[in-house]
Amino acid sequence: MEEIYAKFVSQKISKTRWRPVPAGSLQTAETFATGSWDNEENRVSLWSIGDFGNLDSDGGFEGDHQLLCDIKHHGDVMDLQFFDQERIVAASSTGSVTLFLHHPNNQTLSVGQQWTAAHYHTSPGSPSCRSAPCTGVVCSNPEIVTVGEDGRINLFRADHKEAVRTIDNADSSTLHAVTFLRTPEILTVNSIGQLKIWDFRQQGNEPSQILSLTGDRVPLHCVDRHPNQQHVVATGGQDGMLSIWDVRQGTMPVSLLKAHEAEMWEVHFHPSNPDHLFTCSEDGSLWHWDASTDAPEKSSLFHEGGRSSIFLFHSISNQANVHQSVISSWLSTDPAKGRIEITSLLPNRTLSVNSLDVLGPCLVCGTDAEAIYVTRQLFS
C-alpha cells in the first residue's frame, strides 16, 4: 500500500465504482465511475487509470487517473452502479433513476433510460406528490432495484418504462441501502437499525424476515453480502460499528466490531478475496480488514500510526452448532485468536470518505475534500 494516488477534482464525490471486467478475462480494473453531490451542477464522470498505450511506462504519470468523459446529473448522485460494461445506473436526490450509456468510440455519456419520480412522498390531503431522494440502487441484469427516503422499493427492468413491481410503504423509516441476497431476494437496511429481507416472489408489502440491532436502534447506512457465502452479510451503522450477520439464524448480528468514530458510509467484501473487507466513514478514514487465517504471525494489534483505538470484539451468539463444513472467517467469533488485522489506508485524515470500491488489486475512494484516491497495489 505504498502507492496511493490522490487527485483533486473540484467536486465532492459521493460515489465511486469500478467498471466490472468481463467475466473470465484476465484484464484488471482500469475504468471507474464517480458521482458528485451538493454541487450546483452535479455530474457522473468516467475515469481511466489506464496507461494510455504504455506511454508512461517510466512511471511518470502511471498512477494518475484521467477524466474520460462526464455528463450532467440532475440532483445529488445518491448511488451509482454499473449495470453492465457500458451502462451505469444513477440514483438521484430528486427521486429519479437514470441509466447512462457509455459510448467508448467517441468517449461520451448519454442518457439511455430514465425513471423520473421513482421515489416520491404523498402529502396528506393534497393529491400532488413531492419527490423523495432515492438513496440506494442495486443491479442484476436485467433488474434494477431502488430504495428511497419514502420507504418505497421499486423493481425496474432496463427495457421497461414502468416499474415492474413497487412496494409502497415497505419501511416506515428511511431505507438507506439495498443489495441482492440471491435473486429474487433483496436485503435493505433502514434508519432504525433493521435489516430486512424481501422476496419478490411473495405478494404484499411485508418483508420475509426482519433482523435488527437491539436497544438503541442505531441507523444502518450500508450493507454488503459475502460474495461466496450468501448468508454472511456485513452492515455499517451510524456509530461506525461494523456488524456481521448470519441471515440463516437469529435476528441479531453475529458480531459487532467497533470501528469508525462516525457514520460508516460503505462496506465492501473483496469480490474475489472475501477474507478482506473494506470500510469508509464520515470521520475521514478508510480501513482494510484482513481476516485471512493463513497469514502468518497475525496479531490483533491495531496498525495505525500513533492512534490508539480500542478494538472491541465481542461475540453475541456462540458457535456451538457449527457444522464441519467451511466456516466463514467472518462468523468465527473467538476473540482470543484476534484474527482480524486492520490497516488504515489513507495517509492522513481528511473530510468524510463517502464511497469506496474494490476490484482485484485496485481500490478507489472519493471524499468530501473533493479528492479521488486510487491504489493499484492493495495486497503488495
Partner 1 sequence: MNMLSAVQLIPGVNSSKKQMCFDWGPGEMLVCETSFNKKEKSETVPGCPFIYIIRKDVDVYSQILRKLFNESHGIFVGLQRIEEELTGKSRKAQLVRVSKNYRSVIRACMEEMHQVAIAAKDPACSCQFSSQVSILSAMELIWNLCEILFIEVAPAGPLLLHLLDWVRLHVCEVDNLLADVLGSENPRKHESFWKLVTILVLQGRLDEARQMLSKEADSSPTSAGMCRILGDLMRTMPVLSPGTTQTLTELELKWQHWHEECERHLQDGTFASSPHLESLCKIMLGDEAALLEQKELLNNWYHFLVTRLLYSHPTVKPIDLHFYAQSSLDLFLGGESSPEPLDNILMAAFEFDIHQVIKECSIALSNWWFVAHLTDLLDHCKLLQSHNLYFGSNMREFLLLEYASGLFAHHSLWQLGVDYFDYCPELGRVSLELHIERIPLSTEQKALKVLRICEQRQMTEQVRSICKILAMKAVRNNRLGSALSWSIRAKDAAFATLVSDRFLRDYCERGCFSDLDLIDNLGPAMMLSDRLTFLGKYREFHRLYGEKRFVDAASLLLSLMTSQIAPRSFWMTLLTDALPLLEQKQVIFSAEQTYELMRCLEDLTSGRPVHGEPDAQRLQDDDIETTKVEMLRLALARNLARAIIKEGSLEGS
Among positions 240-279, residues that touch partner 1 (CB under 8 A) are: 262-263
Question: Given the complex with partner 1, which of 128 and 321 has the nearer CB atom?
Answer: 128
C-beta of 138: minimal distance to partner 1 in Å? 17
Range 291-330, binding partner 1 (CB under 8 A): none
* Nearest residue (CB) to partner 1, 38 versus 84: 38
> Binding to partner 1 by residue 182, rule CB under 8 A?
no
Q: Which residues contact 312 (CB under 8 A, 6 or more apart)?
A: 256, 257, 258
Return the range that interacts with partner 1 (CB under 8 A); candidates 15-23, 57-65, 191-199, 304-312: 191-199
The answer to the question of residue 110 lying near partner 1 (CB under 8 A) is no
Residues 135 to 154: which contact partner 1 by CB under 8 A? Answer: 135, 149-151
Minimum gap (Å) between residue 140 Cβ and partner 1: 24
Q: If binding is defined by CB under 8 A, does position 194 make contact with partner 1?
A: yes
Neighbour tally for 379: CB within 10 Å: 11
Number of residues in contact with partner 1, rule: CB under 8 A? 52
Residue with cell 473467538: 334
Instruction: Report d(CA 255, CA 245) in Å as an integer.
Output: 7
* DSSP codes of every residue in 267-290: EEE-SS-TTEEEEEETTS-EEEEE
SS3 state at 254: coil
Q: Given the rule CB under 8 A, which of 9-17, 58-66, 311-319, 372-380 is the region that contacts partner 1?
A: 9-17
Could you tell me how far CA 52 lies from the centroid of its own chain? 29
Name residues whose C-beta falls within 8 Å of residue 264's C-beta, 6 or more positions apart in sequence: 221, 222, 236, 237, 238, 240, 241, 242, 279, 280, 281, 282
DSSP annotation of 141 reads T
* Overall size of the chain counted in residues: 380
What totals of helices (H) and strands (E) does the chain contain, helices first? Answer: 0, 32
Which residues ranging from 29 to 68 are in contact with partner 1 (CB under 8 A)?
37-40
Query: 229: which 3 cell numbers?
Result: 457465502
Work out which of 61, 103, 142, 210 binds partner 1, going by CB under 8 A. 210
By CB under 8 A, name the one of 59, 124, 305, 306 that touches partner 1: 124
Minimum distance from residue 350 beta carbon to partner 1 (Å) = 6
What is the C-alpha separation between 281 and 25, in angstroms, rounded? 33
Q: Compare residues 130 and 314 and give the one whose CB is closer to partner 1.
A: 130
> How many Å is the Cα radius of gyration of the chain?
20
- Point out which residues bind partner 1 (CB under 8 A): 8-12, 37-40, 76, 78, 93, 121-124, 130, 132-133, 135, 149-151, 169, 171-174, 190-194, 196, 210, 212, 214-217, 238, 262-263, 282, 348, 350-352, 368-371
